[in-house]
Structure formats: C-alpha cells, structure tokens
C-alpha cells in the first residue's frame, strides 16, 4: 500500500516522468534498435504527466493519482 501511495504522490509522478525522459534520451542517443527503449519511455512519462499510475491497478487502487491521494 505504501508503494502505491508513493507512486500516486507528487514525488512518484516526478520519478515516473524523470525515468520516462531518461529512457527516451538514452534510446534516442543510442539509435538503431534502441529506439524501442525510447518508445517504452513514453509510457512512464505520459503516466507521470497525466497523473495516472498503472501500478495502482495491480494493487486494487483507482487508476487516477488524484483519487488515490483523496482516499
């Protein structure tokens, strides 16, 4: 429960966005087949930017970070 609460927090959103950007940059710099890594990086970046947490669904929590923080 603590992990899902953290991932729904502002800090968790920042971590997801930073990891997503890092994956996008690394994939872009390495090029070639590593572009797949950049595409995968779009998922955590978008999740952080849109305030959704895909991990929360695994723990039976709502998808929206705002809803988790309210509970």
**Contacts by residues 33-42 (CB-CB < 8 Å, ≥ 24 positions apart):** none
Please give the average per-residue pLDDT across 19-38, as a whole number. 94
**Cα three-residue angle 59-3-67, rounded to 5 degrees:** 65
Question: Residue 9, SS3?
Answer: coil
User: pLDDT tens for residues 36-63?
Assistant: 999 999 999 999 999 888 888 888 888 8
pTM of the model: 0.82
Domain ranges of the chain: 2-70
Bridge partners (DSSP) listed for residue 64:
52
Q: How far apart are CA 62 and CA 71, in angstroms?
A: 10
Average predicted confidence (pLDDT) for the chain: 89
Residue 14 CA neighbour count, 13 Å, CB half: 3
Please give the average per-residue pLDDT across 59-70, as a whole number. 84
């Amino acid at each position: 429960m603590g992990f899902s609460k953290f991932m729904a927090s502002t800090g968790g959103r920042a971590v997801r966005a930073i990891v997503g950007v890092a994956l996008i940059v690394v994939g872009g710099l390495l090029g070639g087949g590593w572009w797949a890594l950049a595409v995968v990086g779009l998922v955590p970046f978008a999740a952080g930017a849109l305030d959704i947490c895909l991990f929360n669904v695994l723990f039976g929590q709502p998808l929206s970070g705002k809803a988790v923080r309210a509970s």
